Structure 1
């Protein structure tokens, strides 16, 4: 008589094992992808003064160039999510890294503002596709007890990439011109694509819902736990509702069961990026308008992303040990309080610097933590799409920040008034996320088993 085939839930297997060298490799590779993303996203700001000088154009003419990559980021994220849920996270990640690297190389040879704008948009498509797939892959390989800190640690690569862009620009531009900065931003991702293709495993959760992938899953799980006995097992992913089976990924995240959380995530991420990009882009000018020197403005502004590195790790640690939803809601509320306070201490440089640093911790942590949280709210078949569309729609907030900042500065708003206004979107983001966490009836036991552990506390 044939013995019944035993099944093994791959996510439960990952949750039960220690964080292995294989998972450290995934974290490092995804960190490098996000670092390359940060470099290529921010690089246009570093080369802008040289463009003005070399091409003899007004600073206002660089507006389309500065925003082109952000628009591409949004479009790339919207397209890449559904494709990744069909073709796989690894395949889409490798293709996107090659894409933004190649277009950055081509952009180094641009001769006009129009050419550079178009090429930056194409670079943004690859950048937008890379981020959600790195988030999804890392979240699916991180044990539930470490998921928040692992994904947030991966996101620290973005700030490191921005810093690397600034350091590289300071050395390369005087020696080899602004084109060399874009060239480095093209070569590095293409080189990185090689170890990604050779060493990065495909998501076992993605493979578990695809037929004929059992042997491949066993090989990957052996990399995580070499001592595990995996013979005569059938590997399964987290069970999802029957209503989602066979649906396109976008249809899943917009279905009646998931629509509310999807819309609330979009609102919260939009508001978060509106705050982040408005401060990151306009803070130097606000400091200058307040009477500070260019050097002081640059120093104070650099404290904002620097605080984000520490904030990401702290928020990830709190998400893993307490309720993820309440952690992010509380972080947004803290950000709202801090931006209200910052504007009141313009006359005290030391205290102002400390407040800018702490504000960077709170605002960056709140925005970054939403990626790990969003990944926990969707089934495997729609996870990459759910994360990608949140990132894509949120980029509209980043683009809108340029216009909002320009309008406020044009109206003569002071440093304190601009910071104070940003408390409104911070509270709006907190409320949107609170409505998700406050409706526990939306979550099933199967979803919790799939990784939405944050909702079970």
Structure 2
């Protein structure tokens, strides 16, 4: 009896045109990330109303902001290894349920410290959901379109954050700040049944785990409806290695890339959160109106959304490491330029847009790149832990802005300092690209 020909999952997905099934996965992950962005940004929009109701000082609000960021960091570290062990879909569904319930609980909090604790728990779920959407989307996308599709999916985060601002503006005035948190809890719980029904488990994870060959065959036939796939014919290029997924990140062939990615994420998110948190205050200090400062700052998010799409498209057509390295370096130039343009708000807005295009767009691209770097058995852990280390940078950036303001620097000097980590991220990404090119050459010689 003839044996079934083997099918490599990677090669199978890469040679197929994009199917409606794969588009559905991208859309569902987009919706998760959009709600994630809504809930992550919500606290910033409702903070003034909380402060007024509970008669808090600005110092009292610091733990509230810090709790969410700490939760995001802890969630990234915790849920990545769990997803590599128990499946992307299972962990993702749990995280969506968890942050939905936690956000609902936040709406009924009666004290500052109770809200701080609940925001930490909300951040825990949010921090676990975000990297797993990146991993799941990446594992279903063909290589020639992967960067564009992953970065487009992740634009849901900035869109969700913007929608959070629009919703807060109307809800707070009519129903109070708790209504924003209620909406942030209801939305993921409404989405959850659709995710249970329509979102598949990662086919790469299923094959690597040796589970449900019939389900794997059915999934591949939905990707390629015209092909008939026998369950016994499926193999996967990656092999499951023994031990912890975290330990796999430090295997000899991965450790240098892991450290370079971590440094890139740390520097990138440091700059993004520093600018997001302090740019309105810095601009306001130059004498422009609060409304103008808010509009100029908004251009950072607009630029980031467009940058993610454009850079993702470029990454699929040129060396992605060099695309991101150049973009990060340009971000440093545009950030530095902001300090000399604060007297002309429209020019400052152009520079802020360009800075957001480069730095935020590059960060989304780096997420896609990290998913492509790691093998299946530690991919969720690799993406999650890179994000976790990046969240450390976000905490440093959020705190560092206040420290820099207290130093009495001129605006050009201050923005020059903010631009330096962006250039460092570019240099690190360039080194990462050269490291991977060297790896590819050594593998070619060995073959």
TM bracket (short chain): over 0.9
Aligned length: 444
Give the corresponding residue for 2:435. Answer: 439
Give the match for residue 131 of structure 1: 130
Please tell me whether the aligned partners of residues 332 and 363 of structure 1 are also in contact (alpha carbons under 8 angstroms).
yes
Which residue in the other structure is 1:188 paired with? 187
| C-alpha separation in 1, matches of 2:305 and 2:31 | 15
| 8 Å Cα contact 2:248-2:378 kept in structure 1 | yes
Q: What is the distance in 1 between the residues matched to 2:236 and 2:443?
A: 11
Give the whole-Å Cα distance in 2 for the aligned partners of 1:446 and 1:39.
Answer: 45
Question: Does the 8 A contact of 1:374 with 1:387 survive in 2?
Answer: yes
Q: Cα distance 1:445–1:194, how it changes in 2: closer, same or farther (>3 A)?
A: farther
**Aligned 1:256-335 pairs, distance under 5 A:** 256-335=252-331
Q: How far 1:247 moved relative to its partner? A: 2.7
Query: Aligned partners of 1:197 and 1:445: how far apart in 2?
Result: 43
- Tell me the residue number matched to 2:176: 177
Partners of 2:141 and 2:412 lie apart in 1 by 41
Matches within 5 A, 1:181-260: 181-231=180-230, 233-240=232-239, 245-260=241-256
Question: What is the rounded CA distance, in whole Å, between the counterparts of 1:423 and 1:168 in structure 2?
Answer: 32
The 1-side partners of 2:417 and 2:273 are apart by 14
Instruction: Give the Cα–Cα distance (whole angstroms) in 2 for the partners of residues 254 and 72 of structure 1.
Output: 25
2:300/2:357 contact within 8 Å kept: yes
Q: Is the 8 A contact 1:290 1:414 kept in 2?
A: no
Matches of 2:325 and 2:71, distance apart in 1? 29
- Counterparts of 1:269 and 1:362, CA distance in 2: 14
Find the residue that maps to 1:438 and give its secondary structure: helix
Secondary structure of 2:233's counterpart equals strand
2:36, 2:160 within 8 Å by CA — same for their partners in 1? yes
Alignment partner of 1:353 is 2:362: no
Residue by residue over 1:9-28, the C-alpha shift from the partner in whole angstroms, topping out at 9 and shown as x without a partner, is 11211111111111111111
**Cα offset for 1:347?**
2.1
Instruction: State the distance in 1 between where 2:72 and 2:438 align.
Output: 31
Residue 376 of structure 1 pairs with residue 372 of structure 2: yes
Q: 2-side partners of 1:198 and 1:30: how far apart?
A: 14
Task: Provide the rounded CA distance (Å) in 1 between the counterparts of 2:129 and 2:333.
Answer: 33
Aligned to 1:109: 108
Give the direction of change, closer, same or farther, for the CA distance of 1:440–1:269 in structure 2 (3 Å limit): closer
| Deviation at residue 210 of structure 1 after TM alignment | 1.4
Q: Distance between the aligned counterparts of 1:289 and 1:444, measured in 2?
A: 50
Q: Distance in 1 between matches of 2:289 and 2:418?
A: 24
- Could you give the per-residue CA deviations for residues 266-320 of structure 1, whole angstroms, max 9, x where no partner exists? 1110000010000000001001111111111111011110111110000000100
Task: Answer yes or no: is the 8 Å Cα contact 1:209–1:237 preserved in 2.
Answer: yes
Q: Which one of 420, 425, 431 corresponds to residue 421 of structure 2?
A: 425
Q: 1:232 to 1:254 in 2, by over 3 A?
A: closer
**1:148 aligns to what?**
147
**Residue equivalent to 1:74:** 73
Please state whether the residue corresponding to 1:317 is helix, strand or coil: helix
Q: How much does 1:4 deviate?
A: 2.4
Superposed CA offset, 1:395-430 (max 9, x none): 000011122101011122333322211221112112
Provide the rounded CA distance (Å) in 2 between the counterparts of 1:232 and 1:149: 31
Q: Which residue of 1 aligns with 2:11?
A: 12
1:97 counterpart residue number: 96
**Secondary structure in structure 2 of the residue aligned to 1:269:** helix
Contact 1:286–1:414 (8 Å) recurs in 2: no
- Give the direction of change, closer, same or farther, for the CA distance of 1:342–1:447 in structure 2 (3 Å limit): farther
TM-score w.r.t. structure 2 length? 0.97
Q: Is the 8 A contact 2:216 2:231 kept in 1?
A: no
2:386 aligned with 1:386, yes or no?
Answer: no
State the Cα distance separating 1:213 from its structure 2 match. 2.3
Is the 8 Å Cα contact of residues 73 and 126 (structure 1) preserved in structure 2? yes
Identify the match of residue 402 of structure 2 among 397, 406, 409: 406
Kept after mapping to 2: 8 A contact 1:14/1:143? yes
Partners of 2:292 and 2:345 within 8 A in 1: no
Instruction: Tell me which moved more, 268-277 or 252-261.
Output: 252-261
Q: Is the 8 A contact 1:238 1:446 kept in 2?
A: no
Paired residue secondary structure (2:316): helix
* SS of alignment partner, residue 409 of structure 2: coil
Equivalents in 2 of 1:292, 1:144: separation in Å?
A: 47
Asked if the contact 1:303/1:356 (under 8 Å) is kept, the reply is yes
* Cα distance in 2, alignment partners of residues 373 and 151 from structure 1: 9
TM-score normalised by structure 1 residue count: 0.94
